[in-house]
Copies of this chain bind each other. A is one copy, B any other.
Amino acid sequence: MKACGIIVEYNPFHNGHNYHAKKARELSKADVVVAVMSGNFLQRGEPAIIDKWMRANEALQNGVDLVVELPIQWSLQSADYFARGGILLLQALKCESYCFGTDVASEFDYQAFGKFVKENQKTINQTFQQLSNPTMSYAQTMTEVYRELYPQLLLTGEQPNHVLGLTYAQENAQYTNPMTSIPLPRVGASYHSKEIHNEIASATAIRKAIIEGLLVEQVVPQQTTSDLQAYQITWNNYWEFLKYRIIISSVDELREIYQMVEGLEYRLKSLIYEANSFEEFVQAVKTKRYTQTRIQRLLCYVLLNIKTSDIKEAWESNYLHVLGFTENGQRYLKEKKAVIDYPVLSKIGKKEEQAYKLTVRSDKVYQMGNPLILEQNFGKFPIRSNPL
């Protein structure tokens, strides 16, 4: 059997994701579509609007055959590490290709770019050193580097999907057997678009609409509509915990948190008393150098007490936590069992809980955001879905 991989967050699953899964199958001519999906804490430094099991279920009912969790050490990360984790798990799952959305209309050759980076890493690093300066974020500096070394990228600074695609390509190029990369031009809505006009809208627009109490039935499948009636999680659900955590911690303790650099711990301590909401706090803490997303991720690490050593330890132990499959997905998993790179977790008992502890602990905090959120790991089995 042949698989095409996709790297996703599904926050929540919408019609655009359905289109993506369908096109992935069609363009790759694969038997199964395998999704590596962020768990309950997402790339842009926020909790998922509904839990990972609900989001996996939505996917399985709408074109995806197998959903494996992208654990927190990879999901709650800048684009680089997010891509690294996603590609790592798709490679481990023996996908032959991967399909991703892009906001570049032209026929850009991602695979060629990946190869270029692999072969010119030294020059890239040197140029990065030269161009690096304290007023620019990492992403901004990298953009400048590629403007110089690979001008055909045509980076405008407003194509997050294209940038993510480039990162996938770089990661994929590092493997002995790179997967075939299948870019899929986005339709209907740009990534950050905040309005809903037709059947396809961005997840950002959908979350905004939900929070404003608007109906989103037009742009999401039925399962998502029904799931969203249970609860909707935002950072607000954790604001009191975050505030409490910053109040009780010394600057020395905060300094141990992953990505707490350049005295940010003092900023957190001094600004926490004045903010009346998470929103206000982030606005107060962020600077030119530290974007909102970067700060939000940092605040997730603080909330979840994630230290550099926790991340490094988790990076060393990779597992494939299966959230669910269709019959086809299960068949694929069985067939590849012997060649898959990492242990497959299809049930989390006491032993597996220990192996997977960073995600388990974080999910416990996620659960505290709303009494309706169920246990996320212990005793859970993969969803078996048989869509019509």
Show the binding face of A for B, using Cβ within 8 Å: 240-241, 243-245, 247-249, 273, 303-305, 361, 364-365, 368
Contacts and interface: CB of A to CB of B under 8 A. Distances in A.
A247 B245 CA distance: 12
Contacts of A247: 361, 364-365, 368
13 contacts: A240-B241, A241-B244, A244-B244, A244-B245, A244-B365, A244-B368, A245-B245, A245-B248, A247-B365, A247-B368, A248-B303, A248-B304, A249-B305
Contacts of A304: 248
Given A244-B368, A248-B361, A273-B364, 4 more contacts: A243-B368, A245-B248, A248-B305, A248-B365
Contacts of A365: 244, 247-248
Contacts of A241: 240-241, 244
A367 to B, nearest CB: 9
A244 B249 CA distance: 14
A361 to B, nearest CB: 7
Contacts of A273: 364
Contacts of A368: 240, 243-244, 247
State the oligomeric state as a number of copies: 2
A304 B249 CA distance: 9
Nearest to A367: B247
A165 to B, nearest CB: 35
A240 B305 CA distance: 16
Nearest to A307: B250
Contacts of A245: 244-245, 248
A244 B240 CA distance: 11
A59 to B, nearest CB: 28
Nearest to A303: B248
A59 B298 CA distance: 46
A235 to B, nearest CB: 15
Nearest to A273: B364
A74 B241 CA distance: 27
A269 to B, nearest CB: 11
A245 B249 CA distance: 11
Most chain B CB inside 10 Å of its own CB: which residue of A273, A364, A365: A364
A205 to B, nearest CB: 32
Nearest to A246: B364
Contacts of A243: 368
A241 B247 CA distance: 12
A273 B376 CA distance: 13
A241 B361 CA distance: 15
Nearest to A244: B241
A373 to B, nearest CB: 14
Contacts of A249: 305
Nearest to A357: B250
A304 to B, nearest CB: 6
A247 B361 CA distance: 7
A315 to B, nearest CB: 18
A363 to B, nearest CB: 10
Contacts of A248: 245, 303-305, 361, 365
Contacts of A240: 240-241, 368
A197 to B, nearest CB: 40
Nearest to A242: B244
A305 B364 CA distance: 20
Nearest to A306: B248
